[in-house]
């Protein structure tokens, strides 16, 4: 992993990096020392690692929770090159949009093809991130993604045992069913209704953990926040989280304690809108 630039704003350090041919960005508390939990963000179709909504979410997770947060450009997005097949798929999607035809099957196939390339890239990125002194290996790792971010995130979470909780939204299609069935960590569904405010109790009950979610993780590296005021509160965490009975940190922050922005599409990737 090679860092190519670093800027600091409002207490958040932003470092662009490349890992082989994978472009990415890492956000962390400025001047912070010691290891910390990691949240990985998956952008939507037509977006990129620094789409405005993704940057805003990363800053909130860093300043509110003290997390390290990372994102990479998905294949055919941002600073990643496009293959001839990518170009054909995009052209087909645009033609169907112009003709007013259904896009579901084409989008599902395109996302599945991108996921086959993106999952190894995410796993290599996670290897490199956990080798950094400011993150470390063995700590909790969460994944957040909507739309195409879920299309890639579901198979990634199914394949990667280091993921300890995930938030998915605006994803569908039978092509994800097999991978989703293999996920054994707490998962929360991001919805349009919950995008601008902390989830209500009914929204929390949608986050249903599997038996594997009962694993507890050490709390020494976590900054607890109150569900009543995620942006400002410094109250201690309750003895149990709101989705699985054990206070496993990532799940609490990623689902119950942070506002979820399911459905918001922030920014476009330099005109490369893929639907």
Looking at residue 80, what is its pLDDT? 95
44 contacts 152 by C-beta, under 8 angstroms: no
Residue 233 domain-assigned (yes or no) = yes
d(CA 46, CA 77): 7
Report pLDDT digits (tens) over 127-175. Answer: 999 999 999 998 999 999 999 999 999 999 999 999 999 999 887 666 7
Integer CA distances (angstroms), 159 to 129, 154, 230, in order: 18, 9, 31
Residue 187 domain-assigned (yes or no) = yes
Task: Give residue 34's pLDDT band: very low, low, confident or very high (50, 70, 90).
Answer: confident
CATH code, domain with 95: 3.40.50.1820
Residue 268 domain-assigned (yes or no) = no
248 contacts 51 by C-beta, under 8 angstroms: no
Q: What is the DSSP letter of 240?
A: S
Q: Can you give the C-alpha Rg of the chain in angstroms?
A: 18
Report which of 18, 6, 124, 12 is spatially closest to residue 57, judged by C-alpha positions: 12
- The answer, yes or no, to whether residue 8 has pLDDT greater than 70, is yes
Q: Where are the alpha helices (DSSP H) in 16-175?
A: 52-65, 84-99, 104-130, 148-159
C-alpha angle 180-172-74 in degrees, rounded to nearest 5: 80
Domain that holds residue 228: 2-257
Handedness of CA 267, 134, 160, 181 (dihedral sign): negative
Report which of 256, 272, 258 is spatially closest to residue 56, judged by C-alpha positions: 258
By CB atoms closer than 10 A (0-12, 13-18, 19+), residue 228 is exposed
Residue 114 domain-assigned (yes or no) = yes
C-alpha angle 120-61-122 in degrees, rounded to nearest 5: 5
Neighbours of 211 (CB within 10 A): 8
Residue 274 domain-assigned (yes or no) = no
d(CA 92, CA 9): 41
Residue 94 domain-assigned (yes or no) = yes
pTM over 0.75: no
Report pLDDT digits (tens) over 94-105. Answer: 999 999 998 888
3-state class of 161 per DSSP?
coil
Domains identified in the chain, total number:
1
- The answer, yes or no, to whether residue 255 has pLDDT greater than 80, is no
Residue 109 domain-assigned (yes or no) = yes
Residue 160 domain-assigned (yes or no) = yes
Report which of 26, 212, 247 is spatially closest to residue 128, judged by C-alpha positions: 26
Looking at residue 83, what is its pLDDT? 94
Task: Give residue 79's pLDDT band: very low, low, confident or very high (50, 70, 90).
Answer: very high
């Amino acid at each position: 992993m090679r860092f190519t630039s670093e800027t600091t704003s409002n207490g958040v350090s932003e470092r662009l990096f490349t890992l082989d041919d994978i472009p990415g960005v890492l956000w962390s508390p400025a001047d912070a020392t010691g290891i910390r939990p990691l949240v990985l963000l998956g952008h939507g179709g037509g977006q990129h690692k620094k789409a405005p909504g993704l940057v805003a979410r990363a800053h909130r997770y860093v300043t509110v929770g003290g997390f390290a947060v990372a994102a990479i450009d998905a294949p055919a997005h941002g600073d990643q090159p496009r293959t001839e097949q990518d170009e054909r798929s995009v052209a087909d999607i645009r033609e169907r949009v112009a003709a007013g035809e259904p896009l579901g099957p084409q989008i599902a196939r395109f996302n599945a093809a991108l996921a086959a390339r993106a999952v190894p890239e995410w796993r290599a990125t996670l290897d490199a991130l956990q080798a950094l002194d400011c993150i470390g290996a063995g700590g909790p790792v969460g994944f957040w993604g909507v739309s195409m971010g879920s299309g890639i995130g579901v198979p990634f979470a199914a394949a990667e045992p280091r993921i300890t909780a995930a938030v998915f939204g605006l994803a569908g299609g039978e092509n994800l069913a097999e991978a989703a069935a293999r996920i054994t960590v707490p998962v929360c569904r991001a919805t349009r209704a919950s995008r601008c405010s902390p989830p209500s109790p009914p929204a929390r009950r949608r986050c249903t953990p599997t038996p594997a979610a009962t694993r507890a993780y050490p709390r020494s590296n976590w900054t607890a926040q109150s569900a009543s005021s995620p942006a400002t509160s410094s109250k201690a965490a309750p003895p149990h989280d709101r989705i699985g009975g054990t206070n496993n940190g990532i799940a609490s922050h990623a689902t119950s304690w942070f506002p979820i922005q399911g459905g918001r599409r922030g920014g476009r990737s330099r005109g490369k809108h893929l639907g």
